[in-house]
Structure 1
Amino acid sequence: MHVLPDDDSWIAEELRAIGDRIRAERERQNLTQEQLILAARIDRVTLWRVETGEEWKASTLLRIARVLGIPLSDLVGG
């Protein structure tokens, strides 16, 4: 079992890293934000929140992973 750090700053770092991986994969596939928004059936603010490391729902991440055609573990893994 792992022990949590004294503060939650690690959470923000992890969320930013996930957002960075999503943005990188979207760009690697030459998809615009608009294309991903439409395909994943999410709104612009939601994608902005994900790519900038804000809080998001697991269902949003599942939609994005499905549209990008990659395993969810590739987005959340490090």
Structure 2
Amino acid sequence: MRELPDDDSWMLDDRRVIGARIRAERKRQRLSQNQLILAARIDRVTIWRVETGRDTSLSTLQRIAHVLDVPLSDLVQ
């Protein structure tokens, strides 16, 4: 079992990687943020938060993965 570091900065780093993967996949599919927002039924602030590594919910990540037609595990690995 691993122990947690003294601070939570590692979580922000992980979320930034996830956000970068989502942004890269969205761009690879030539989707605008607005197209993803409409298809995933999320708001502009939410997609900004996800792509910049801010806190988000699992259900939001599931919506995005579904719309992008990629396994959630590919985005959060």
TM-score bucket (shorter structure): over 0.9
Instruction: Tell me by how many angstroms 1:4 deviates.
Output: 1.1
Structure 1: any 5+ residue segments left out of the alignment? Answer: none
Aligned length in residues: 77
Q: Partners of 1:19 and 1:70 in 2: how far apart?
A: 14
Unaligned regions of 5+ residues in structure 2, if any? none
Q: Secondary structure at the match of 2:3?
A: coil
TM-score by length of 1: 0.96
Task: Quote the Cα distance in structure 2 between the aligned partners of 1:6 and 1:73.
Answer: 27
Provide TM-score, normalisation by structure 2: 0.97
The question of 1:63 aligning with 2:63 is answered: yes
Percent pairwise identity: 69
Is it true that 1:20 corresponds to 2:25 in the alignment? no
Could you list the structure 1 runs, at least 4 aligned residues long, displaced by more than 2 angstroms after superposition: none
1:23 Cα deviation (Å)? 0.2
Q: C-alpha deviations, 1:39-71, integer Å up to 9, x for none? A: 000000000000000111110000000000000
What is residue 6 of structure 2 aligned with on the other side?
6
Q: Which amino acid aligns with 2:21?
A: R
Cross-structure match for 1:41: 41
Q: CA RMSD in A?
A: 0.6
